Structure 1
Amino acid sequence: MSTLRDARKAGRTVSSRVFAVLGAFSHDRPALRLVDLTAVTGLPVSTVHRIATELVELGALKKDRDGTYRIGLRMWKLGSLCPQPRTLRDVSLPYIHDLYEATGENVHLAVLDGYEALYVERMWGPRSVDVATRVGWRRPLHATGVGKVLLAHAPRELQQAVLASELKRYTPHTIVMPGLLMRALQEVRETGIARCSEELTLGTASVAVPIHGPDRRVVAALSVVSHTVARSRSLSAVEPALRLAAKSISRELANGYASEPEATGSTGSVGADDRLA
């Protein structure tokens, strides 16, 4: 949806239209047909067809026999020339690996992107509960542990928008009443941890904590996801390690880091003065 809005706002220039087409592709949309590109970008079908054809000729896009477009090899080559800064993921990976080794459970790293939690890293194994998350996927803020952490520290305007929206009930345990959700967010801010049990998927529970950037603002959330039946046994035991990992990551980030490219920052995190009471 953000791609569509960006295209409509910036669609007056050739370069913005080209980047709108390229930006339509993502981890969860690696292959798109012409009709899909038109829908995602909001550009006229004739414009999208012309740009896509030129990008195929330049090697920036690849067109399959069935008419499906994919990112071309030339784009991958250009991407490899980009300097690799020390990113949030770079800093977090050793601690994510340690948490997984200690728990055998899913470990997630997420950032705020628009009105959703964007997963930028995940580690799991054969003992981990099967969860519907992948790197690059987005999940609702109100129904996930990482989402509640990010929402609890989000700008006042974003919190108000989420609380005023029609919150989707994913399971019988999903908190969809604004008053209850507001109290849950207040508890997250007071305790520094979010606990979420079967709110997005039955059979799973998670605990999540905030990660702070150089200015002490929350820039990400780190979580461990386990089987619900093992929650009292495993998640309570892992909370100290989870807090320590987040604190260690935050300490390293205090020296500065490059933002993850997936996180647009259009509704980025803020300090306590901007949060809902």
Structure 2
Amino acid sequence: MQEQNPIVLMNFSGIYREEEFWKNRQVSWIELQDVCGTNCYCDEEAIAEINKRTENYPTAGIHFIDSGNYHYMTRLWLTRMDQPFCLLVYDNHTDMQPPAFGGILSCGGWIAAALEELENLKYVILVGPDEAAYEQVDENLKDRVIFLSREKLQVMNDEERNWFLRETVSEVCNWRKSEGLQEDAEKFLPLYISVDKDVLCTEDAQTTWSQGDMRLTTLVSGVQTVLECAKESSGKIAGVDICGEADAEAVHENEANDYANEKLLEVFEGLFGKSDCE
């Protein structure tokens, strides 16, 4: 695989051209504005074209995937995982809705598709949706989902939230313990992290979807806790993606998003060197 920068900007809408967080860094651009059939739903032709344009980019990287309309991109990055792994998602929505149009991949159903189709995906840790939304999820999917609701987050302090994350990540990623394997088996499953900024309150982000009430400081603290947990366990972060931009026409609302992207990138930066991309 050719050398690539570990920070990747996926240009579906053009919104990143109006942001500053990436401009003093080495980044790779993947141009996708000309690909039809990508907004909210991604048809087979679009998937084939996206896969073609991303084929030289590894899952091990920090992928900015535009607005939540394109959150299905996480599903496409995860397809490349060739070993058992876990997935941590921050989102104001479950993204486990049944597809409205047959089996087409959508931003609202990509987690369900991943659970159903990716044999290597062992567990999903889902942080942020409200309890009523989770009640609508197919019961067959819940066996492999650890859920932290918006309501529970509201009554927890930072210490309690971070304790929950640390304990949960340690438990689900402890492959040897959960599967009863031998001592010399791989102990910590790789963890992929996906952040949709619609989990944040409107003071800290402006997105294309309904938003939660989490503060950016809480999100950053939680992510830092997860990264520390993985490091202490000699675990590997398999990849990262971030979405939740505003509409390209709403540039005047995008200052908060730019700041949030900067703070999240500061947390994740350094996880992946160019050697990981070769």
TM-score, L = length of structure 1: 0.29
Structure with the bigger percentage of helix: 1
TM-score, L = length of structure 2: 0.29
Bigger Cα Rg = 1
Q: State the structure with bigger RCO (CA 8 A, min sep 6), 1 or 2.
A: 2
